[in-house]
Amino acid sequence: MKRNLTNCRHSRAYPTIIAQTAGFLWCPDCGAHRLVNVIEPGRYQYASRVWIYPTGYQDVLKQLERQEKADA
């Protein structure tokens, strides 16, 4: 069953830091994630403009390609 992902506001999203300088926000409600850069401990800035939804790896790759085209 496919969930309606457009209604999630990611209000419970929390940071998961992979390295000292980067990581991602992960929303436990819908599973979406958003890339972030760590400025200092406890502060971060968004590295991507959109949330990426887990709908299969092919679709995620398409989402990332669209984002790169929009950033260029």
The predicted-structure confidence for 14-54, as pLDDT tens digits, reads as follows: 888 888 888 899 888 888 889 999 888 888 899 988 888 87
Range of the domain at 44: 5-71
Between 42 and 2, name the one with better pLDDT: 42
pTM of the shown model = 0.62
What residues does 36 pair with on adjacent strands? 23, 46
Report the run of H or E that residue 61 belongs to, with start and end. helix 57-71
Q: Is-contact 53 31, C-beta < 8 A?
A: yes
Number of domains in the chain: 1
What residues does 44 pair with on adjacent strands? 38
